[in-house]
């Protein structure tokens, strides 16, 4: 396929086709001397496009595709990639609000770094609006969205606001092995591109969009379970970046359950049950300390942090076990794709280990 210089394909997969968000993206101010083509891929055959979207499609201002069935986020993006021919591809989510100068900032980055494999824009969130959104912030679940504020280069970024060089991507595409609604595919593809080209994506914090809080900031966990599923699917694809860790609460509870006969030699069933129940309690305590350091001192924040973490870890655990990859139990992946030590720890893991040892000693000798 021929590619056109000074050309950008803007690819927006959409399930809602909400004109409130899409029309401002389509009408963003554009730098002179550049060609922009929009590819809006609707992954919901039940959606009826609004009058304005149909008009823009009929006039050729956008390319509008409606999937005959739900193909998922990865295949919808691939459809946009394959339909276009631009030298650069900008992926945007269908519910973000972009700064008016975002296309200018990307063009400036391209003109300064023509050989770059791509760029990671800044995806901001509004200020936390509830205990749950404060938990998301304290748990670090929004960190990758704002990676452009802290790094000059990185191996991957969220597809809510990220640009790829078509020449660097070549035949690589988003993989459909990941959850349909997203989770892992936006790590897998850019990491493969980086490894192939021996380069990293350049962060452009000036290319800014704002992402709304998921579910209007109300508690929900399926998304983060899905992210865990995606993380588990990455493990065998990037074995050189994996390592073993202390058991997380899900793995720890399983180990306590499986070792029950051994524990009964030293503990009564009541004490064994206390040890089992202590796992989430200790995690909530540690999360409360972590959240307090960020200024979030509500116990509810620590509670939500623990549920979010368990949701993520349950998604990872059930996927690993469901695929029969038992050697990946207690295994993690370095998502910055640096080579890790064989076994990693941090102060929080050490604190928890000390608490568990003290608790076990107290239960045995009391």
Angle at CA of residue 132, ends 129 and 138, nearest 5°: 95
Give the whole-number percent of the chain exceeding pLDDT 90.
Answer: 75
Q: Residue 147 domain-assigned?
A: yes
Q: Which of the listed residues 154, 189, 220 is the one where a domain comes to its end?
A: 220
Q: Is pLDDT at 2 greater than 90 in this prediction?
A: no
Mean pLDDT of 54-70: 96
Query: Above 80 in pLDDT, residue 23?
Result: yes
Own/partner long-range contacts of 211-217 (Cβ < 8 Å, ≥24 apart): 211/93, 211/95, 211/96, 211/123, 211/124, 211/125, 211/145, 211/160, 212/95, 212/96, 212/97, 212/125, 212/126, 213/125, 213/126, 213/129, 213/133, 213/136, 217/128, 217/129, 217/130, 217/132, 217/133
Domain-embedded: residue 136: yes
The chain-wide mean pLDDT, for the chain, equals 92
In a domain, 235, yes or no: no
Provide the domain count of the chain: 2
CATH number for the domain that contains residue 113:
3.90.550.10
Tell me the residue range of the domain where 171 lies.
4-220
* Same domain membership, residue 313 and residue 197: no
| Mean pLDDT confidence for 72-89 | 96
Does residue 254 lie within any of the structural domains?
A: yes
Residues 116 and 262 in one domain: no
pLDDT at res. 353: 79
Residue 271's pLDDT is 79
My answer on whether 251 and 210 are in the same domain is no
What is the structure's pLDDT at 102? 98
Distances (CA, A) of 121 to 37, 88, 184, 301, 313: 19, 14, 18, 29, 28
Residues 121 and 254 in one domain: no
| 255 and 207 housed in the same domain | no
pTM over 0.85: yes
pLDDT exceeds 90 at position 293: no
**228, part of any domain:** no
Task: Say whether both 11 and 107 belong to one domain.
Answer: yes
pLDDT at residue 39 greater than cutoff 70: yes
Tens-digit pLDDT profile for residues 120-164: 999 999 999 999 999 999 999 999 999 999 999 999 999 999 999
Higher per-residue confidence, 32 vs 346:
32
The answer on 102 and 214 residing in a single domain is yes
277-291 confidence digits (pLDDT tens): 888 888 899 899 989
Confidence band, pLDDT 50/70/90 cuts, at residue 342? low
pLDDT of 258 > 60? The answer is yes
> What share of the chain has pLDDT > 70, as a percent?
96
In a domain, 94, yes or no: yes
Residue 229 domain flag = no
Same domain membership, residue 246 and residue 214: no
Which of 220, 255, 271 is where one domain is finished? Answer: 220
Per residue in 161-201, pLDDT (tens digit) is: 999 999 999 999 999 999 988 899 999 999 999 999 999 99
């Amino acid at each position: 396929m021929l590619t056109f210089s000074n050309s950008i394909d803007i690819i927006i997969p959409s399930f809602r086709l909400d004109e409130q968000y899409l029309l401002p993206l389509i009408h963003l101010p554009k730098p002179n001397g550049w060609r922009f083509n929009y590819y809006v891929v609707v992954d919901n055959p039940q959606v009826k496009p609004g009058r304005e979207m149909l008009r823009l499609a009929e006039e050729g201002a956008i390319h509008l595709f409606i999937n005959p069935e739900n193909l998922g986020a990865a295949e919808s993006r691939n459809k946009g990639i394959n339909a276009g021919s631009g030298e650069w591809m900008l992926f945007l989510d269908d519910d973000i609000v972009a700064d008016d100068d975002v296309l200018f900032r990307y063009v400036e980055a391209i003109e300064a770094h023509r050989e770059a494999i791509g760029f990671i824009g800044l995806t901001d969130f509004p200020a936390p609006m509830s205990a749950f959104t404060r938990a998301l912030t304290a748990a670090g679940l929004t960190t990758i969205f704002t990676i452009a504020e802290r790094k000059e280069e990185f191996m991957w970024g969220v597809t809510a606001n990220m640009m790829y060089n078509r020449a660097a991507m070549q035949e690589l595409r988003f993989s459909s092995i990941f959850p349909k609604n997203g989770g892992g595919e936006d790590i897998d593809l850019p990491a493969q591109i980086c490894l192939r080209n021996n380069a990293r994506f350049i962060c452009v914090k000036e290319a800014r969009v704002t992402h709304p809080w998921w579910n209007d900031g109300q508690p929900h966990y399926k998304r983060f379970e899905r992210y865990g599923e995606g993380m588990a699917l990455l493990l065998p694809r990037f074995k050189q970046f994996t390592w073993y860790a202390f058991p997380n609460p899900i793995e720890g509870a399983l180990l306590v359950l499986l070792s029950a006969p051994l524990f009964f030699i030293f503990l009564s069933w009541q004490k064994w049950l206390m040890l089992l129940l202590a796992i989430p309690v200790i995690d909530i305590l540690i999360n409360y300390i972590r959240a307090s350091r960020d200024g979030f001192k509500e116990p509810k924040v620590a509670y939500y942090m623990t549920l979010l973490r368990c949701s993520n870890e349950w998604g990872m655990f059930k996927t690993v076990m469901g695929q029969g990859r038992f050697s990946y139990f207690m295994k993690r992946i370095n998502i910055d794709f640096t080579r890790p030590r064989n076994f990693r720890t941090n102060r929080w893991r050490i604190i928890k280990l000390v608490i568990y040892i003290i608790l076990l000693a107290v239960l045995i000798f009391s």
